[in-house]
Amino acid sequence: MNEFVVTWGAPRAERADAARNRRHLLATARQMLAEQGPNTLTMDGLAERAGLGKGTVFRRFGTRAGIFAALLDDDEQAFQQQVLSGSPPLGPGAPPLERLIAYGRARTGFLIAHGDIARAALDGHQPIPAGSQSPISQVHIRMLLGQLDLSGADLDMLATQLTAALDGPFLLYLAASGTTATPGTAERIADSWQYLIQRVCRA
Amino acid sequence: MNEFVVTWGAPRAERADAARNRRHLLATARQMLAEQGPNTLTMDGLAERAGLGKGTVFRRFGTRAGIFAALLDDDEQAFQQQVLSGSPPLGPGAPPLERLIAYGRARTGFLIAHGDIARAALDGHQPIPAGSQSPISQVHIRMLLGQLDLSGADLDMLATQLTAALDGPFLLYLAASGTTATPGTAERIADSWQYLIQRVCRA
């Protein structure tokens, strides 16, 4: 499981003041998001609200989209911690089928809740790059499939297919510009994930 | 099934000489592809080989990538005809589960065989736009799922998930720049599709 710990982890050698600035900027950005939504959050506005120089914000994030990418990355790490060491059935300790269902449900909820941030992280220009979707999902799904008795399955390929099945509906939702999350969307995707995974994995 | 007939069909009002030029240009482009591969096919080269003016080629395709997009579109229509009115199990007349398996196998083969053209149609700049993947697959898979006894399933969402599962491995393959199709790739994806769809659809 170390692959995505390394991938997602913050640089170890970050200096203490840089780390403090980073945490302060992310916390400030979260406050501004909660108050105003993503559309009015700018580099200048963030610097002013945080009481830091524009140069500091620029060096940290590069672009406005970089702020949102950093927020996503921060939340991804928290999500990953729940999967690696949180309570079952999302965390370790539950049977693999239950963990697969819980993972898909939690991941869907996470992605839908982060739809606005994910869209802003893409800066409105760049389509979602195909092939870069959720390595964390693929590694985790592959591991849990390996704990089930799926004789005859090509587990690597099946994990790729199920990861795509998990991400697909969300990517469609994300690509539909202007769509806002309705309470039912995440639930509907999650229910269908559970149906799919139960049928694939039943003995 | 009319949705994608309309989507993919050539414009009806195309004039006879324009249609003749189009067929001639596509046939010439196919010859050049077969002889030289996609990398050396240019707008100027195509005009010269076809004995037509550069303006004609430009008006028809717009850009070099447009040539490849037109080739793909042409082959998509032929593929679609096999699904709509070809022999079973890809075409009508076989049980829905057999048609689902045959469709995924044929679609995988089609996509892998067209990997070079698809990459060139993207012009090397634009990532594959998320959400624009294979509407033909989704409509067809949804129709066949409806003929099975999948009580409790959200058939629209399940079709979205299975379409993503079908396209996902190919999109990863396409995103891996420089990869050339190996004979085993299509077979491996197709076998795993069959495994997945059999488990999802068995009674």
Do the Cβ atoms of A195 and B161 come closer than 8 Å? no
**Chain B contact probe: residue of A123, A160, A198 with most B CBs at under 10 A:** A160
* B152 contact A CB<8A: yes
Where do you find CATH 1.10.10.60 in chain B? 9-62
B128–chain A nearest CA distance, Å:
6
Query: What would the pLDDT profile of A117-160 be if each residue is shown by its tens digit?
Result: 877 887 655 544 444 445 789 999 999 999 999 999 999 999 99
Q: Are A168 and B165 an interchain contact pair (Cβ–Cβ within 8 Å)?
A: yes
Rounded-to-integer distance, Cα B188 and Cα B114, Å: 17
Spatial CA neighbour of A188 closest among A110, A105, A94: A105
H-assigned helices in chain B: 2-8, 16-36, 43-50, 54-61, 64-85, 96-113, 115-121, 135-146, 155-175, 183-201
- CB-CB neighbours of A183 under 10 Å: 8
Interface residue A189 vs chain B (CB under 8 A): yes
Q: In sequence order, what are the residues at sequence separation of 6 or more whose Cβ sits closer than 8 angstroms to the Cβ of residue A24? A: A50, A52
C-alpha separations of A190 from A80, A166, B31, B96, B197 in Å: 18, 9, 48, 26, 19
Please give the Cα distance from A71 to A84 (Å, whole number): 20
The answer to whether B192 and B101 are in contact (CB under 8 A) is no
Q: Residue type for A9, please? A: G
Confidence at residue B7, expressed as pLDDT on a 0 to 100 scale? 41
Instruction: Give the gap in angstroms from C-alpha A177 to the nearest C-alpha of chain B.
Output: 11
Superfamily in which the B64-203 domain is placed by CATH: Tetracycline Repressor, domain 2 (1.10.357.10)
Query: Of B165, B17, B141, B159, nearest to A133 (Cα)?
Result: B165
Q: State ipTM.
A: 0.80
Confidence of residue A13 (pLDDT cuts 50, 70, 90): low
B175 reaches A (C-beta below 8 A): yes
Q: Where in chain B is the domain with CATH 1.10.357.10?
A: 64-203
pLDDT values of chain B reduced to their tens digit, one per residue, 203 residues = 333 333 444 455 678 888 898 999 999 999 999 999 888 899 999 999 999 999 999 999 999 999 999 999 999 999 999 999 999 999 999 999 999 999 999 999 998 888 888 878 876 555 544 444 457 899 999 999 999 999 999 999 999 999 999 988 887 776 665 555 566 888 999 999 999 999 999 87
CB-based contact B103:B141 (threshold 8 Å):
yes
Any idea which architecture A2-8+64-201 has in CATH? Orthogonal Bundle (1.10)
Interchain contact, A169 vs B163, CB within 8 Å: no
CATH architecture assigned to B9-62: Orthogonal Bundle (1.10)
Q: Is B123 on the interface with A (CB under 8 A)?
A: no
Residue of chain B minimizing CA distance to A125: B126
A164 interaction partners in chain B (CB closer than 8 Å): 164-165, 167-169, 171
DSSP label at residue A62: S
Q: Which two tokens stand for residue B171?
A: 């999109």
Rounded distance between C-alpha atoms, residue A112 and residue A119, angstroms:
11
